[in-house]
Amino acid sequence: MAEPVALPQRIADLLTPPPGTARREFTWTGTTVGQVYGMAAWLRANLPERRGRGVICLAAEDRAVIAAAMLASLAGGPVLLLPYAFSRQALASLHQATGFTQAIGDVPRDLPPGTEIFSPQPVDSGQELDHYPARPEEELLRLYTGGSTGEPQIWPKTGINLFAEALFLAEHFVVSGADRIVATISPYHVYGLLYSVLLPLVSGATVMAATPAYPEEIQQAVANSQATLLVSVPAHYRTLLGRSALGPSLRLAFSSAGVLACDDNRQFSRANPAGIVEVYGSTETGGIALRNRSRGEDQFTPYPTVTWQINQEQLRIRSPYLSPNLTLAADGSYLTGDRVEIWQAGGFTLKGRSDSIIKVAGKRVDLEEITTSIRQQPGVDDCLVLALAEGGGRENRIVAVVEGAAVDVEALRRSLACRFEPYALPRAVKLVSRIPLKDNGKYDRTAILRLFAP
């Protein structure tokens, strides 16, 4: 019996496309696998060595170009910088943080003056990548996020961090060249990058080039491409409520980048029997656990590649997907910010963030508990409860932004007053037609805070 191939070698083998796949579509009705590898070889040959000018901004949205850049970096090319947006402000902020002078682009961008642009063309190339030594243990890219607190953060990822998770997903969900993927989330979010760039790259699946966001676009994209996998976010699943099935071709749907509401999951699963696989994780940790509530899985089951334990309600993990800049314990484990409760079947349920516990007038308040209570009120489609510092940061003021056209705010206040102590009640409630979201499907905290500005 042959010995299993070690993970670094499996990742290194990705520098050579599998035999007979050159003409297979990487993007649906677009770029082929051979053209992706041709662009990767061109980038590797033309970009500076990593030990010289070692970082480059990846300012392309084309998933084929992103895949090519990832391969070139894996083959020893420069570290890729992924901005959270392509606005002038976001790119200028990234430039200030990193000092990049070069970028990989597919269309004109508002990049800092003097930036040197590399634009690979999707043509087959006689050049090859496999004569370059693969460097899966080294830093491959840095994900630049807006930060949940409004402060931008950079999360480095190695080749093993990313490609190992993509290989696991391909094997766990038996993804192959027979699959077609539609993603409604940008590849500049780690979830979108994994499921709509790296997963097709390691599995041979085809991915739709466009990123539909509106319900009609999503339905049409799935139908036209006969997609088998849908990669989406809770906000987009909500827009699909009340609509017919997406199509008989769909065998898996994924959700991440936020908590999927029970009712949204239930209604989608009624129309689409495959249900929704919820992915729990974060940019810095990578994927941690999965569940599919349409199959009776109320608990999250950790990946078999992740070691976990619970310490005083907080989840601690060891994983090959952890960003290398995280502060780890002596045993290599990382304490997440999530509170969990162990489940008898070998998994856990989420109880909210540990940082959702705040002090108001010296008393303990659980923001997640208030959020859950508001979401159960008549007419509420969604809500977010926040603690705003006041009095020079010495005290917290609880506020709530509530989504729903038919919400009776006074009735909501009375209901909360029956359950919570006065100090735990939101001091301000803003009713909106839609809670502001970022492109990655997460709440736009900056826009939300403006609602409560003096």
Which pLDDT belongs to residue 443?
A: 79
More confident residue, 443 or 255: 255
Q: Give the model's confidence band at 392: pLDDT under 50 very low, under 70 low, under 90 confident, else very high.
A: very low
Interatomic CA distance for residues 317 and 394, integer angstroms: 33
Q: Which bin fits 71, alpha (ψ -120 to 50), beta or left (φ > 0)?
A: alpha
- At a CB cut-off of 8 Å and minimum separation 6, what does 27 contact? 62, 63, 64, 206, 207, 208, 209
**Closest alpha carbon to 72 in 159, 155, 8, 192:** 159
74 in Cβ contact with 135 (< 8 Å): yes
**CB of 100 within 8 A of CB of 55?**
yes
Q: Which residues of 342-353 are buried (b: 16+ CB within 10 A; e: fewer)?
A: eeeeebbebbbb
The answer on pLDDT for 147 being more than 70 is no
pLDDT at 229 over 60: yes
Answer yes or no: are the C-beta atoms of 49 and 38 closer than 8 Å: no
Q: Tell me if 75 sits within 8 A of 132, measured CB to CB.
A: yes
Summarize the confidence of residues 240-252 as an average pLDDT: 86
Packing angle, helices 367-375 and 409-419, rounded to 10? 130
At 390, the pLDDT band (50, 70, 90 cuts) reads low
CA 189 – CA 63 distance, rounded (Å): 12
Question: Please, which pLDDT band fits residue 150 given cuts at 50, 70 and 90?
Answer: very low
Residue 271 CA to residue 254 CA, distance in Å, equals: 15
CB 33 within 8 A of CB 22: yes
**DSSP string covering 34-102:** HHHHHHHHHHHHHSPPTTSS-EEEEE---HHHHHHHHHHHHTT-PEEEE-S--SHHHHHHHHHHH---E
The answer on pLDDT for 22 being more than 80 is yes
Edge to edge, the sheet with strand 139-145 lists: 116-118, 102-105, 55-59, 79-82, 139-145, 153-158
Distance, CA of 377 to CA of 390 (rounded, Å):
28
Coil/strand/helix, residue 438: coil
Residue bearing the bigger pLDDT, 344 or 60: 60
- Planar angle of CA 38, 188, 400, nearest 5 degrees: 170
pLDDT for 149 equals: 37
pLDDT at 48 over 60: yes
Distance CA 50, CA 68 (A): 16
pLDDT above 70 for 391 = no
pLDDT at 448 over 90: no
Q: Quick one: pLDDT at residue 148?
A: 40
Q: What is the mean pLDDT of the chain?
A: 87
Determine the average pLDDT of the residues in 287-314: 90
Is the pLDDT higher at 239 or at 177? 177
Mean pLDDT of 146-165: 77
Rounded mean pLDDT, 94-118: 90
By DSSP bridging, strand 79-82 and strand 180-183 are unpaired
**Closest Cα partner for 180 from 155, 203, 158?**
203
pLDDT tops 60 at residue 394: no
Cβ neighbours around 269 below 10 Å, total: 17
The confidence score (pLDDT) of residue 2 equals: 44
Which residue from 454, 393, 399, 392 is spatially nearest to 425, judged by alpha carbons? 399
pLDDT at 337 (0 to 100): 80
Contacts of 33 (CB under 8 A, 6+ apart): 17, 21, 22, 23, 24, 25, 26, 204
Domains (range + CATH), the chain: 7-349 (3.40.50.12780), 361-451 (3.30.300.30)
Tell me the pLDDT tens digit for each residue of 188-217.
889 999 999 999 999 999 999 999 989 999
Residues 105, 60: contact at Cβ < 8 Å? Answer: yes
CA distance 178 to 161: 26
How much is the pLDDT for 310?
87
Compute, in degrees rounded to 10, the torsion defined by CA atoms 241, 247, 251, 252.
-30
**Residue 2 CB neighbour total at 10 angstroms:** 4
Instruction: For residue 238, name the pLDDT band (cuts at 50, 70, 90).
Output: confident
Confidence of residue 171 (pLDDT cuts 50, 70, 90): very high
Among 54-58, 111-115, 261-265, the least confident range: 261-265
Does the pLDDT at position 4 exceed 70?
no
Other Cβ atoms within 10 Å of 35 Cβ, number: 23
For the stretch 365-380, pLDDT in tens is: 878 888 888 988 888 8
pTM comes to 0.81
Q: Which has the closest alpha carbon to 286: 252, 316, 323, 239?
A: 323
In the chain, count H helices and then E strands: 13, 22
> Residue 181 pLDDT > 90, yes or no?
yes
Q: How many residues does the chain have?
A: 454
Q: Report the interhelical angle of 159-172 vs 63-74 (nearest 10°).
A: 120
- For the ranges 45-54, 135-144, 342-351, the lowest mean pLDDT is seen at 45-54
Q: pLDDT (tens digit, 9 = 90+) per residue, 305-364? A: 999 988 878 889 999 999 999 999 999 999 988 878 888 778 888 876 666 777 776 677
